[in-house]
Structure 1
Amino acid sequence: MNTDTLQTVWAPRILSVLRIVAALLFFEHGSQKLLGFPPTENPPALLSLSWIAGALELVGGAFLALGLFTRPVAFILSGEMAFAYWIGHAPRSFFPVLNGGDAAILYCFVFLYLAFAGGGAWSVDALRAGRGSPTPIRNV
C-alpha cells in the first residue's frame, strides 16, 4: 500500500469513521439529557440551556452519524462545544483536566475539522453529490 492509496482511498473512509464515532458518542449525551437513556438523575427542565444543548446533541449527533448536512451541522456543534466550555467548564479552573472540559475541547475541534473536511466517503452528503462509496471495502 503506497501513500497515494492511503490519501485517495483510505483518508475519506477514515474521515467517515471519525465522524461516525464522534457523532454516536455525542448523540449519547443528547439521549441522556432528553430521553433519559442512559439513565440520569437530573433531567433538564424544558427549554433550559441544558435542554437546548441536549436537543442540539441529539439531533446534531444523528445528522452527523448519517453524514447529512455535515458541514453546517458540525459548525453549529463546534460552536455549541466552545460555548459549553467557556460557560460551564472554564470558570471552574484554568486547566481542562481540572475543570472537566477536555471532552468539550476535543468535540469542538473535531467538529470544526468536520465543518471544513466534510463527511467523508461514507456519508449521505457524498452519496447526494455522487461521490459516495456505496460498495463495500475492497482490497487495494
Structure 2
Amino acid sequence: MPKLDRLGEPIYALFRIVIGFLFMLHGVASLFGVLGGHRGSGHAVVFAAWPNWWAALIQFACGALVMTGLFTRVAAVLASGSMAYAYFIVHQPRELFPVQNGGEAAAMFAWAFLLIVAIGPGVWALDTVLRRSESRAPARISQPAAGLAGIARTQSSES
C-alpha cells in the first residue's frame, strides 16, 4: 500500500480545495445573485440583512480562505460553526433527519470543515508555504535588553 500512502496528502489537499470552493460558491450565489442566486431565487440577499447576508459573507470569505489554505483553521472553525448553526436553527426544527429537513449540505459542510480544523491546512496551502518561508529566513540575532548600564558599557568599550 505504499502508493496509496503517497496519495494521502494530495487527496486531502484536493478535498480542502474542493470543499472551500463549493462553500465559496454558495456565498457568491447569495451575495451577487448569480448561479441561481440565494436558495435558487435568482436574486442576491439584501445587504447586511441578518442572518442571510452575513451567512453568505462567511461562506464567501471562509470558503476562499479554506480553498487557498490561508488562515485555514480559523476559517474552517467559523465555517463549521456557521453550518452547525444553520442546521440546528433552520433545518432541524422542520424534521429530525437531514434527508427530511433539507439540511444535508449544512451537515456535511459542518463535518467537513471540522475535519479540516482537526487536520490543518496540509501541504498544498498558503499557510504551509508561508510557514516554510519563515523557517528558512535568516535568524535575527537577539540580544537581551541591557538597559542604560549595558549601553554605557558598550559605548565605553567601543571608544
TM-score of the aligned structures, taking structure 1 as reference length = 0.85
- Partner AA of 1:62 in structure 2: A
Higher relative contact order (CA 8 A, sep 6+): 1
Q: Is the 8 A contact 2:34 2:44 kept in 1?
A: no
Report the Cα distance in structure 2 between the residues aligned to 1:109 and 1:20, rounded to whole angstroms: 15
> Which of 73, 90, 93 is the matching residue for 2:92?
90
TM-score of the aligned structures, taking structure 2 as reference length = 0.75
Residue 135 of structure 1: aligned partner: none
Quote the offset at 1:33 in angstroms. Answer: 0.5
Identity of aligned residues (%): 35
1:33 and 2:30 equivalent?
Answer: yes
> Which of 122, 125, 129 is the matching residue for 2:124?
122
Report the Cα distance in structure 1 between the residues aligned to 2:130 and 2:7, rounded to whole angstroms: 20
Quote the offset at 1:43 in angstroms. Answer: 2.5
Q: Is the 8 A contact 1:71 1:114 kept in 2?
A: yes
1:43 and 2:44 equivalent?
Answer: yes
- Partner AA of 2:81 in structure 1: G
SS at match of 1:130: helix
- Encode CA deviations 1:103-133: one digit per residue, 9 max, x unaligned: 11110011001011012111101111229xx
Quote the offset at 1:6 in angstroms. Answer: 3.5
Query: How many pairs were matched up?
Result: 128
Residue 138 of structure 1: aligned partner: none
Residue 78 of structure 2: aligned partner: 76
Q: Bigger radius of gyration, 1 or 2? A: 2
- Is there any run of 5+ residues in structure 1 with no aligned partner, and where? 132-140
- Is there any run of 5+ residues in structure 2 with no aligned partner, and where? 134-159
